[in-house]
Amino acid sequence: NAGVTQTPKFQVLKTGQSMTLQCAQDMNHEYMSWYRQDPGMGLRLIHYSVGAGITDQGEVPNGYNVSRSTTEDFPLRLLSAAPSQTSVYFCASSYNLGDNYGYTFGSGTRLTVV
Amino acid sequence: KQEVTQIPAALSVPEGENLVLNCSFTDSAIYNLQWFRQDPGKGLTSLLLIQSSQREQTSGRLNASLDKSSGRSTLYIAASQPGDSATYLCAVIKAAGNKLTFGGGTRVLVKP
């Protein structure tokens, strides 16, 4: 099915470990982004990309790294996991702004850092 | 900085009653506004997208209005059903960078 696919769905990490959250879309969307959702804080933008090879920081980028080598994939790397990074992570994508399409979200990755 | 507020934070209604969910934003220079539904432990499902040039958008029992000048959008759900119980999120899309700014959501419970 067309859409945004995130893996894994659940992950437990120890403090200091690193990992990569995967995100792939098959809709040829130019824009992709990562959000984290925390109780009482809502959804906050971590990093985003307006096209392959182009990334930029969002509201809460510290501790995370991204790259966009292809249109389809936008992985999020946790460099050295901390308990404060316990959260639900969502990847989202959309067409070019001028096409007036909204965003499509993945089903999320629930990360716990112990 | 764009701020998006949703009031009330929670709402409980009997089945059959109409739902009115409010979303307000501080910067009227938006491109689009999108309403989402989120079930517990699940991802976000897009409900309606309103372009900045539109004043409303309808899909089935759902109707969303947009008043850019006053910085408000309202989501109406007619004849609510228990299956409508979920958290409803609004998000504005600013032209620069196509980034979403979310409200805190309204948690809805429809009682049978």
Residue B45 pLDDT > 90, yes or no? yes
Interchain CB contact of A89 with B (< 8 Å): no
Are B31 and B95 in contact, with CB atoms under 8 Å apart?
yes
Q: What is the pLDDT of residue B51?
A: 86
User: In this prediction, what percent of chain B has a pLDDT beyond 90?
Assistant: 76
The four Cα atoms B50, B56, B60, B62 give a dihedral, to 10 degrees, of: 80
> Is residue B84 helix, strand or coil?
helix
Interchain CB contact of B89 with A (< 8 Å): yes
Residue A70 pLDDT > 70, yes or no? yes
> What is the rounded CA–CA span in Å between residue A79 and residue A13?
12
Interchain CB contact of B31 with A (< 8 Å): yes
Question: By CB neighbour count within 10 A (0-12 exposed, 13-18 middle, 19+ buried), where does B97 fall?
Answer: middle
| Cross-chain Cβ contact A58/B105 below 8 Å | no
Question: By CB neighbour count within 10 A (0-12 exposed, 13-18 middle, 19+ buried), where does B61 fall?
Answer: middle
Are A92 and B100 in contact, with CB atoms under 8 Å apart?
yes
- Most A CBs within 10 A among B98, B101, B106, B107, hence the mutation to make, goes to B98
Interchain CB contact of B13 with A (< 8 Å): no
Residue range A34-51, pLDDT digits in tens = 999 998 888 999 999 989
Interchain CB contact of B102 with A (< 8 Å): yes
B60 phi and psi, to 5 degrees?
60, -125
> What is the rounded CA–CA span in Å between residue B18 and residue A57?
40
Contacts of A108 in chain B (CB under 8 A): 42-43
Residue B96 pLDDT > 70, yes or no? no
